[in-house]
Amino acid sequence: MKDFFSTLKFKLLAGVAVLLAGMLAWAGANGRLSNAPQELLGALLTPFQRMAAAISGGVDDVWTKYTRIDEILAENQQLQEENASLRQRMVDYDAMKAENEAFKDLAQIQEENPQYEYASGFIIGRDPLEQFGGFTIDQGTLNGVQKNDVVVSDQGYLVGIVLEAGINSSKVITILSPSLNAAGVVSRTRDNGILTGSAQYAGQGLCTFTNLSRDTQATVGDEIITTGLGGVFPADILVGTIEELVPESSGKSMVAVIQPGQDIGSLKHVFVIVNRDYGQEE
């Protein structure tokens, strides 16, 4: 056993382990998640992920159908009546329609917020260890994306912020994560609060709006928007609607459970606001 530990190979392996521990400590001390070797690996992986994401829509559909086989069999019976050429034409039509909708959404968002610049990003990765809907997009520093850039959906709803920007991809933390906090306001009543994720509700695709006063006039269905306070998030970005109002555990304030305007778990495409000048100062 002593010989085993004194071999050159074992010493080299121990050296690698120490190096990794050093990288871990360095990253922890500097508030970073990744470093150069990892960014290189990530850059190599991105083209594969981009290709996979392009076909994942189809795979996703097949898997969903498999899990709902009974419903699908009945549906299939009905669909068989359609002829093949019509279906092919429908596929072409759907593809063109989706593309057109995406451009229309972008045009509308840009019309409503001409002061912002957007980078269009497709979601290319969702890791099994990610607990709060976080994902990777195919836009990185080469496309002007930076850490803390705000990410919105095709319809302009707040999705999250860029946690770390790589060369050709970026990691996004979503509004379902308890780590994300944004100043918000109830659009109708102007009640202020903090928008944040909650482990209790994240599984259902919901987030929370905390620190509402006990006597708030906000009700179910009210819209939540960002205030722009803090300088990270621009003002007046739509978040979603109040689904439920519950007292905070201490009883001193109210918590609104928010249904985000866009289902975070099924997003396939987003826009990143790449210019950081929101006209707000901290």
Partner 1 sequence: MESKRQRRLRLAAKWAAYSLMLLAAATLQTMPGLFTIGGAKPIFILPLCLAVALFEGEYAGALFGAVCGLLWDYTAGRTVGLLALGLLVLGFAASIIVRMFLQETPANFLLLVAGAALLLLSTDFLFFYAMRGYPNGLQRYCTVVLPTLIFTAVLSPLAFVGARAVHGRWGEN
Nearer to partner 1, 13 or 90 (CB): 13
**Residue 210 contacts partner 1 per CB under 8 A:** no
Going by the DSSP 8-state scheme, the letter that residue 142 receives in this structure is: G
Binding mask of the shown chain, residues 49 to 68, with x at each position contacting partner 1 by CB under 8 A: x-xxx--xx-xx--x---x-
**Residue 153 contacts partner 1 per CB under 8 A:** no
CB 256 → partner 1: shortest distance, Å? 18
Site stretch for partner 1 (CB under 8 A), options 40-48, 81-89, 219-227, 273-281: 40-48
CA–centroid distance for 274 within its chain: 16
Phi/psi of residue 139, nearest 5 degrees: -125, 135
Measured CA to CA, the distance from residue 248 to residue 218 in angstroms comes to: 15
**Residue 100 contacts partner 1 per CB under 8 A:** no
Measured CA to CA, the distance from residue 251 to residue 247 in angstroms comes to: 6
CB 198 → partner 1: shortest distance, Å? 8
Residue selected from 76, 108, 200, 217 as contacting partner 1 according to rule CB under 8 A: 200
**Residue 142 contacts partner 1 per CB under 8 A:** no
Site for partner 1, residues 237 to 256, rule: CB under 8 A: none
For 120, other C-beta atoms within 10 Å of its C-beta total: 16
CB 252 → partner 1: shortest distance, Å? 19
Long-range Cβ pairs for the range 230-233 (8 Å, 24+): 230/182, 230/183, 230/280, 230/282, 231/278, 231/280, 231/281, 231/282, 232/148, 232/150, 232/161, 232/182, 233/150, 233/158, 233/161, 233/182, 233/183, 233/278
Binding site residues, partner 1, CB under 8 A: 9-10, 12-13, 16-17, 20-24, 27-28, 32-35, 37-39, 41-42, 44-45, 48-49, 51-53, 56-57, 59-60, 63, 67, 123-131, 134-136, 163-164, 166, 171, 173, 178, 199-200, 203, 268
